[in-house]
Every structure is written in structure tokens, then in C-alpha cells.
């Protein structure tokens, strides 16, 4: 059952030479062969390349490099949005079919430097636009807890692969909840770092003022290890923060949360919350209180406007970012008599319905005559949402909520109504608008069917350490992370 | 929202749509625009717009050549290339 252990445990065993990097990778491949025909988390895997990396890692392990390379030999899989030199990057879109990355993104460089064996392209909603992977141009990934249900999105493949123990950890991206929501729905840990904490160089851009890269892991300890590996300033991303990276693992191990104040949001006590999700999160609040945390009510008065703000700003930024897919420099081309027709036909054939919807919406809200009414107004409401958080974080150290209003929904349940799909992100979206950090950690299960429930912890900018401290104390005193999915 | 013209905006966005797509996307976008119109309720007088999570400053570096992709690497994914260039249809006759 090698494939089921955590990154932290695996790296220890690798360093002690109790297991080889090749064996670790082959345990992933065996599990993928067993369950991925059902889970469908991976779009592709270059096994020969991964095996070559594992063999190089084994040589490094033999010469004692594990002391300085904490992930040496650990297999980690990547969302199909991160550039990995020599490997395809497609954003699960037909328009990038056949694209091979000519360079490594910064996160990939950092993971390689730490010794990770990087493999696979994980499924996602096309260009990270969606909450279920149903917008992938290839197929819908399925939830390892119940394969009639979606794994969440957009990083659904990342979450499903970790829950199915097909990879020891995965790396995804979060623009409005795309790490935290699938982590919650699949029962793993997912971290959306503070905006600028992790370099976006080599991440295909969706909404540049909101996008962040972060880890999916089986445990909070693994999340701390991966976060400290991928964080840090990068001169190739001018929005990355010039702030030192703490050793996030030093925040782990507290058994008491005395002195910490955790906020519950008055405006989040809304209708429409699944009763079992509500009960699990309420029990988690009680549990954190029993660990010594002080629970306080806080107010985020503009919460109700976060989704509307997001669905103006994110499509606006996407419409600009996706202008690069023009059929000229890379990707698919549909010929036309002139450049305009070539561009339009290429994009008409290459983008799926959700991408078209958002690019057209974004074009509209930025167009002459509508800019002030939509885009500028949304930017002002974004300020108000950010101010709400600043005020709340004057009163509490972290804010707790459900990560998603419901457990994993059925394939097709929301696919026909884009607006309903958008509203499944109500608890996660405001974090990206404010640029603060958040994570999701398992906090229970529904009874029948048994589906994971996740709670979200939000912290102020660069407050990841405190969130990891709370999440770790919670995880270590609850049983949820020990349960394995039926396809795990 | 009656002034939302799907054909006009799709053209601005350089996306060719089929008539069925125009119908479906037009309806869906009408719903979404109806939802986001709720921002009109918010009093934003005197509020500064926020374009980024944190104030951004210009990032400068010395103007020195560094490592970059080779011409061949930069062109490797082009759908059509010739003599080290991207090929596009005639713009000027």
C-alpha cells in the first residue's frame, strides 16, 4: 500500500533507502492502471520520462542528496495548466492540442530542484473555467468517492488523483476556488496561497490579478512542505512578493489553539446550504473551540456581491489573456482568407462553450460604453470586499466557513445552467478578490452516500502559517484524513 | 440588457459562432448579465477601484541580454512557419 502514504512519510522512507524512487513511481502507475479508467484524472502521462527522473532521483538518494532536497524521488503530478519543458500543456482545450512547452515554469523548476519526480497532465475545466471538470474538452473526471459525481473544479483532476492515491501530491491553480473546492469535494487538503506568494511564471494565465498556484495533498503536513518549496519571489513574475518564505513546517504540531481567534461570518449563515455540510462545519467550530480557539462572529457585509464582482473581473481579464490564442503563434489553426477570419474561425473551433461565454462576457464588460457600468464598478466593489476582510482580520486570526455549499454533485446536475455552477463558488471567490490566503481541509462526511465535506480557513495576506497551524491541530485530532476513498 | 448584441460582441472577441451558439450563448449571457446587475445596488461613491490585490510598483532591471528561447524553440509550436517566421494570410495585396 505504498501509494497510500503521505509525501512526508515517503520522503523519510526514500531518504532511509527503505524504498526507491522507482518503486514509489511504479506504485502510482499501478494505482493509475487500476483506477484511472474510472476516475479519469489524467489526460496523459509520459511514463518513460518519469521513470528516467525516478532513476536520476535514485542515484541522488544513493549519494546522500536527500539531506538538501526534501522531495527527492517523490512523484508529484501537475495540472494541465503548468509549463513543464518538453511536455504537453493544453489547459484541457482543443485550441492548445499538440502544444509542447519549451520551458519550465518557476514552480516546476523549484519542484525539480527539490528532487520531485514530475509526471502526468491532470484534467481540468478548459482554461480553468469551471467547477466540475465538465468543461474539459476531453472528458469529465470523476470523484473517487462516488464515480457518478464530479470531483469539483477547475483542478478536478488534481483533487481526484490525490484522493485516488494516484499521485502523492499534485499542483493546481486557483482563480476563484479551483484548488479549495475540488479539495473539499474529494476529501484532500488544498491551499490557495496569498496573491504573489507563489510565482505565476509558467502558469497559463486565466485572470492575472486572481490566479495563484498551490498544492493538493493528503495531509496538512504535506501541504506545508510543498508550500515552502514552491513559494518565493521570482524576478520573472513582477507580481510575486519580495517576502521571505517561512519554514511552514515549523507552524505544525500545536495541540492547543489557545490565544487564536477564529471568525465565523455572519453573512454566510444563508439558506441553500446542504444540512450535512452545515452540521459538519458547525461541529468543526465546536471542535476548534475545544482545542482552545476563541470563536467570534465577524461581518463581511459585501459578501453577497462577491460572485457578481468576480464574474465581471475574471472574464474581463480572461478576454484579454486569451487574446493570445489567435491561430498564429501556437496551437490549433483554422485557415481563413484574411487574419480576421483566421483568428475568428480558429477561436470559434478551438474554444469550448464556457470559454466562449466568458471571453464574450469579458469583452462586453470592457467594451466602449459599458466599461464604467460593469468593469470599473466591479473594481470598486472589489475594494469594498477587500476592506471588509481587512476589518475582520483586525478582530480575528482566521475565518472559517464551508468550502463549498454542497458535497460533490452529480455529473450533469448543474452543467446546463452556467449561473448555478457559478454560485457553487460563493465561499471561495472573495478570497481571490481580496488577494488573501485560504485552504480547505476535510471536516467530515455525508452519511449516504458517503462524500467528503471540507471546511475553509481564510487568513490575511501571508497568513498561511497560522492557517496551517489551525488545520494541522484540527486534522491531528480528528479522524477524517485517515479514511480512504473506495477508489483510493 | 436588451442592448446586448451577441453578434457584435462575438465579433469584437474574434470568435466565430454558429447561429445555434449565438442563440444559446445570447440567452445564457442575458441571465448572467441580469445577475451581475445586482452590483448597481452597491454605493460605490468615493471608493477607489482595485485592480490588484496589492499596490504594484514598476519593476526595473538593467537592460542586459539574458537567456531566452532560441528562435527554433519560439517557433516550435507554430501552426505554420517559414524561414524563421510565423506565416499568416496576406494582409496587403
**Which residues of chain B are within 8 Å of residue A435 when distances are taken between CB atoms?**
52-54
User: What is the per-residue DSSP string for A149-195?
Assistant: B---SSSHHHHHHHHTTSSSEEEEEESSSTTHHHHHHHT-EEEEPPT
pLDDT, tens only, B32-74: 999 999 999 999 999 999 988 888 788 888 999 988 999 999 9
Indicate yes or no: CB of B39 within 8 angstroms of CB of A102.
no
Indicate yes or no: CB of A381 within 8 angstroms of CB of B44.
yes
A367 found inside a domain? no
Is B2's pLDDT higher than 80?
no
A419 found inside a domain? no
pLDDT, tens only, A253-302: 999 999 999 999 999 887 778 999 999 999 999 999 999 999 999 999 99
Is A459's pLDDT higher than 60?
yes
- Give the pLDDT confidence score for residue B56 in this predicted structure: 79
A394 found inside a domain? no
State the CATH number of the domain containing residue A111. 3.90.1300.10
Q: Mean pLDDT for chain A? A: 97
Least confident of A35-39, A106-110, B50-54: B50-54
Over range A183-207, report the average pLDDT. 98
For residue A234, the enclosing domain spans: 2-259
pTM of the model as a whole? 0.97
Q: Return the residue of A nearest to B35 by Cα.
A: A308
**Which residues of chain B are within 8 Å of residue A340 when distances are taken between CB atoms?**
14
A:B CB pairs within 8 Å:
176
% of chain A with per-residue pLDDT over 70: 100
Is B1's pLDDT higher than 60?
no
A313 found inside a domain? no
A255 found inside a domain? yes
A349 found inside a domain? no
pLDDT, tens only, A204-259: 999 999 999 999 999 999 999 999 999 999 999 999 999 999 999 999 999 999 99
A434 found inside a domain? no
CA distance to A93, A141, A233, A354, per residue, from A135 (Å): 9, 10, 33, 7
B53 vs A195, A333, A348: nearest CB: A195
* Local confidence band at B90 (pLDDT 50, 70, 90 cut-offs): confident
Residue whose C-alpha cell is 477564529: A262
Spot the catalytic one: A101, A178, A280, A440: A178
Element holding A54 (H helix, E strand): helix A47-62
* Local confidence band at A422 (pLDDT 50, 70, 90 cut-offs): confident
Indicate yes or no: CB of B28 within 8 angstroms of CB of A357.
yes
Q: Could you tell me if residue A389 is left (phi over 0), alpha (psi between -120 and 50 degrees) or otherwise beta?
A: alpha
A235 vs B10, B61, B74: nearest CB: B61
Whether chain A has a CB inside 8 Å of the CB on B60: the answer is no
| Count of residues in chain A | 488
- The answer to whether residue A110 is catalytic is no
A54 found inside a domain? yes
- The answer to whether residue A447 is catalytic is no
For residues A396-427, one letter each, b for 16 or more C-beta atoms within 10 angstroms of the residue's C-beta and e for the rest, the string is bbbbbbbbbbbbbbebebbbeebeebbbbbbb
- The answer to whether residue A469 is catalytic is no
Indicate yes or no: CB of A353 within 8 angstroms of CB of B36.
no
Indicate yes or no: CB of A342 within 8 angstroms of CB of B89.
yes
* Local confidence band at A87 (pLDDT 50, 70, 90 cut-offs): very high
pLDDT, tens only, A333-364: 999 999 999 999 999 999 999 999 999 999 99
Indicate the number of domains in chain A: 1
Indicate yes or no: CB of B89 within 8 angstroms of CB of A377.
no
- Give the pLDDT confidence score for residue A18 in this predicted structure: 98
Amino acid at each position: 500500500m505504498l501509494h497510500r502514504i503521505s509525501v512526508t512519510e515517503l520522503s523519510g522512507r526514500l531518504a532511509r533507502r527503505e524504498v526507491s524512487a522507482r518503486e514509489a513511481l511504479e506504485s502510482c502507475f499501478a494505482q493509475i492502471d487500476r483506477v484511472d479508467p474510472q476516475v479519469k484524472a489524467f489526460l496523459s502521462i509520459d511514463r518513460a520520462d518519469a521513470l528516467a527522473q525516478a532513476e536520476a532521483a535514485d542515484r541522488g538518494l544513493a549519494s546522500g542528496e536527500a539531506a538538501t532536497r526534501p522531495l527527492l524521488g517523490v512523484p508529484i503530478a501537475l495540472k494541465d495548466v503548468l509549463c513543464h519543458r518538453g511536455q504537453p500543456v493544453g489547459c484541457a482545450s482543443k485550441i492548445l492540442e499538440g502544444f509542447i512547452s519549451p520551458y519550465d515554469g518557476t514552480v516546476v523548476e523549484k519542484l525539480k530542484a527539490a528532487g520531485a519526480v514530475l509526471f502526468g497532465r491532470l484534467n481540468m475545466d478548459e482554461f480553468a473555467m469551471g467547477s466540475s471538470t465538465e468543461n474539459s474538452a476531453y472528458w469529465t473526471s470523476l470523484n473517487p468517492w462516488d464515480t457518478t459525481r464530479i470531483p469539483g473544479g477547475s483542478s478536478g483532476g488534481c483533487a481526484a488523483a490525490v484522493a485516488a492515491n494516484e499521485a502523492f501530491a499534485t499542483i493546481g491553480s486557483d482563480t476563484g476556488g479551483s484548488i479549495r473546492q475540488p479539495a473539499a469535494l474529494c476529501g484532500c487538503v488544498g491551499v490557495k496561497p496569498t496573491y504573489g506568494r507563489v510565482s505565476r511564471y509558467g502558469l497559463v494565465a486565466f485572470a492575472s490579478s486572481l490566479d495563484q498556484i498551490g498544492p493538493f495533498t493528503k495531509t496538512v503536513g504535506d501541504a506545508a512542505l510543498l508550500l515552502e518549496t514552491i513559494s518565493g519571489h521570482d524576478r520573472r513574475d513582477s507580481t510575486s512578493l519580495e517576502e521571505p518564505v517561512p519554514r511552514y513546517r515549523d507552524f505544525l504540531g500545536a495541540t492547543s489553539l489557545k490565544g487564536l481567534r477564529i471568525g465565523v461570518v455572519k453573512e454566510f449563515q444563508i439558506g441553500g446550504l446542504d444540512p450535512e455540510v452545515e452540521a459538519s462545519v458547525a461541529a468543526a467550530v465546536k471542535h476548534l473551540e475545544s482545542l482552545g480557539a476563541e470563536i467570534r462572529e465577524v461581518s463581511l457585509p459585501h459578501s453577497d456581491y462577491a460572485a457578481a464582482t468576480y464574474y465581471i473581473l475574471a472574464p474581463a481579464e480572461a478576454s484579454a489573456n486569451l487574446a493570445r490564442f489567435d491561430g498564429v503563434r501556437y496551437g490549433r489553426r483554422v485557415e481563413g482568407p484574411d487574419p480576421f477570419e483566421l483568428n475568428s474561425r480558429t477561436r470559434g473551433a478551438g474554444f469550448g462553450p464556457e470559454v466562449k461565454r466568458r471571453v464574450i462576457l469579458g469583452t462586453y464588460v470592457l467594451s466602449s460604453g459599458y466599461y464604467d457600468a460593469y468593469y470599473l464598478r466591479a473594481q470598486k466593489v472589489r475594494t469594498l470586499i477587500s476592506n471588509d476582510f481587512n476589518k475582520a482580520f483586525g478582530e480575528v486570526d482566521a475565518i472559517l466557513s464551508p468550502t463549498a455549499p454542497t458535497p460533490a454533485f452529480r455529473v450533469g446536475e448543474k452543467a446546463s445552467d452556467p449561473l448555478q455552477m457559478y454560485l457553487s463558488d460563493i465561499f471561495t471567490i472573495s478570497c481571490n478578490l481580496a488577494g488573501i490566503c485560504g485552504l480547505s481541509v476535510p471536516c467530515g462526511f455525508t452519511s449516504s452516500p458517503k462524500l467528503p465535506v471540507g471546511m475553509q480557513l481564510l487568513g490575511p495576506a501571508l497568513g498561511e502559517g497560522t492557517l496551517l497551524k489551525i488545520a494541522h491541530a484540527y486534522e491531528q485530532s480528528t479522524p477524517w484524513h485517515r479514511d480512504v476513498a473506495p477508489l483510493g | 440588457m436588451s442592448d446586448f448584441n451577441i453578434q457584435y460582441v462575438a465579433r469584437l472577441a474574434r470568435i466565430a459562432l454558429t447561429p445555434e451558439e449565438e442563440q444559446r450563448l445570447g440567452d445564457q449571457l442575458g441571465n448572467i448579465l441580469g445577475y451581475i446587475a445586482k452590483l448597481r445596488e452597491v454605493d460605490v461613491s468615493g471608493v477607489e477601484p482595485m485592480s490588484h490585490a496589492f499596490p504594484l510598483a514598476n519593476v526595473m532591471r538593467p537592460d542586459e541580454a539574458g537567456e531566452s528561447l532560441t528562435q527554433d524553440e519560439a517557433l516550435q509550436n507554430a501552426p505554420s512557419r517559414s524561414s524563421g517566421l510565423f506565416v499568416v494570410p496576406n494582409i496587403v495585396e
